[in-house]
Amino acid sequence: AIQYTNLDFLFFYLGHLAAQNNEGDRSLYYYSQLTPEKTKALFLNSFNPDYAFQFVAQAIADLTRFDHPAEAERLVRFFDGTVNRSSLYAYAANELMLQGINDSRVDQLIDSARAQTTRTRNLNTIQPNRVEIAYALALRDEKSDISEAYTTIKNVEFKFIGMSRISRAHAQHGKLFEASQSIPDNIADPDILLFSWNILVGYGEGIKHSEETPQWKLFVENRLR
């Protein structure tokens, strides 16, 4: 069947399910079946290319979590553009931190995402990777990370999205005052909604592992990303 059918979506699903069950070796096996040609074909035939892209980033996060950096790097190399590669590294870092993992593995992913941005030659292109990097920095929340996060999105066209993600990260850390203070003054109601929604989601992310807040379980399981 592999010879005639593109099973890469299936391998992404199986790899992630194995990771969720803490079966690192099984997860590695399924992800190792992925090929550049068939994974790229998913983007051409997918009803939502972003959906396929998230699968790849999630796979990189899973492989990094189980200490398979070489296999994670192999998946990154499926893509040529520095913006794509940077986005994958940053998104994977975010996924690990949303799972409660914040250690040297996250640092390496963030450093790799930064390194790719320095290799971007055409600075006039849209760079969504900078929003993901800013979010990763704010989630990590080490010294100077917040200021660097704002610097990272300084010249991004959709700056409000990046700023709202920083607010979201503040809320995840329980810093609701800082999150609300991140909302710019004199902005339109739809933009206020964007910030408010991200703050609510971030706060939910921050407490979702707590057994003392079962009332948030339904929200966490059904919320939009």
Over residues 101-108, the mean pLDDT reads 96
Please list, in sequence order, all residues whose beta carbon lies within 8 angstroms of the beta carbon of residue 149, skipping any fewer than 6 positions away: 133, 134, 135, 137, 138, 162, 166
Q: How confident is the model at residue 108 (pLDDT cuts 50, 70, 90)?
A: very high
**Per-residue pLDDT reduced to its tens digit, 144-161:** 999 999 999 988 888 899
- What does the alpha-carbon distance between residue 30 and residue 20 come to, in Å, rounded to a whole number? 13
Instruction: Indicate the angle between helix axes 69-76 and 24-32, nearest 10 degrees.
Output: 30
Please list, in sequence order, all residues whose beta carbon lies within 8 angstroms of the beta carbon of residue 115, skipping any fewer than 6 positions away: none
**Per-residue pLDDT reduced to its tens digit, 44-55:** 766 678 888 999
Contact 88, 81 (CB under 8 A): no
Contact 223, 204 (CB under 8 A): yes
How far are the Cα atoms of 50, 73, 139, 163, 164 from residue 182, in angstroms, in the given order? Answer: 27, 35, 15, 7, 8
pLDDT at 210 over 70: no
Over residues 105-117, the mean pLDDT reads 95
Question: Regarding predicted confidence, which is higher, 215 or 91?
Answer: 91
Contact 137, 173 (CB under 8 A): no
What pLDDT, on a 0 to 100 scale, did the predictor assign at position 1? 67
pLDDT at 212 over 70: no
Q: How confident is the model at residue 225 (pLDDT cuts 50, 70, 90)?
A: low
**Per-residue pLDDT reduced to its tens digit, 67-96:** 999 999 999 999 988 999 999 999 999 999
- What does the alpha-carbon distance between residue 202 and residue 181 come to, in Å, rounded to a whole number? 15
Cα end-to-end distance, the chain, whole Å = 33
User: CA nearest 8: which of 75, 81, 67?
Assistant: 75
Over residues 93-102, the mean pLDDT reads 93
What pLDDT, on a 0 to 100 scale, did the predictor assign at position 157? 84
Pick left, alpha or beta for residue 67 (phi over 0 → left; psi -120 to 50 → alpha; otherwise beta). left
